[in-house]
Amino acid sequence: QLQLQESGPGLVKPSETLSLTCTVSGASISSSSYCWGWIRQPPGKGPEWIGSFDYSGNTYHNPSLKNRVAISVDTSKNQFSLKLSSVTAADTAVFYCARHFGSVQLEVDYWGQGTPVTVSS
């Protein structure tokens, strides 16, 4: 059974870098059948896609986040990570790791349980 588990600090100071890791079990992040990525949801708002990657190492980012996003992959641990730099209070959200079926252009078919991150001094 597929499980995606986010982990990382729940509190980050303004201007610092937010770092989260997603550990996947029940599927290989190296599989050509899926893409994997990050989505966030600010309090009381809808989800916002952050970025994703595919098995070939191609990465895709939400242009609204400009150059603040970095996604890295550790296939040996079946994990992938998110770094979001220069955070502000507007980055406070629940962060989800997720899977796309097939390509990043298709549906998000599984979501992790989510981890809340607050940006505050």
Site string for other proteins, 18-57 (x = CB under 8 A): -------------------x-x-----xxxxx--x-----
- Residue from 16, 21, 27, 60 touching other proteins (CB under 8 A): that is 60
Nearest approach in angstroms of CB 114 to other proteins is 5
Q: Is 105 a binder of other proteins (CB under 8 A)?
A: yes
For other proteins, the closer of residues 52 and 92 by Cβ is 52
CB 121 within 8 Å of CB 13: yes
Q: Least distance from C-beta 103 to other proteins, angstroms?
A: 9
Report d(CA 92, CA 107) in Å as an integer. 25
As measured in angstroms, the least distance from the Cβ of 119 to other proteins is 21
How far is the first Cα of the chain from the last one, in angstroms, to the nearest whole number? 39
Rounded CA separation 106/102 (Å): 7
**Contact flag: residue 101 with other proteins (CB under 8 A):** yes
Distance CA 79, CA 72 (A): 9
Rounded alpha-carbon distances, angstroms, from residue 16 to 33, 64, 86: 35, 19, 5
